[in-house]
Amino acid sequence: MLWIKAFHLFFMVSWFAGLLYLPRLYVYHATTSDTAGRLRFCTMEKRLFAIMTMGAAGTIVLGVWLMLGWWWPLPPGSGWLWLKLLLVLALVVFHVWCWQLMQDFRHGLNGRSDRFYRLINEIPAVLLVAILILAVVKPF
Helices (H), the chain: 2-30, 35-70, 79-106, 114-120, 123-137
- pTM for the whole structure: 0.93
Of 110, 3, 12, residue with least CA distance to 56: 12
The overall average pLDDT reported for the chain is 95
Which of these, 15, 137, 25, lies nearest to 88 by C-alpha position?
15
Residue 108 one-letter amino acid: G
3-class SS of residue 108: coil
What is the Cα–Cα distance from 74 to 78, expressed in whole angstroms?
6
The arithmetic mean of pLDDT across residues 117-122, rounded, is 98
Predicted pLDDT of residue 137? 95
pLDDT over 90 at 70, yes or no: no
pLDDT of residue 53: 98
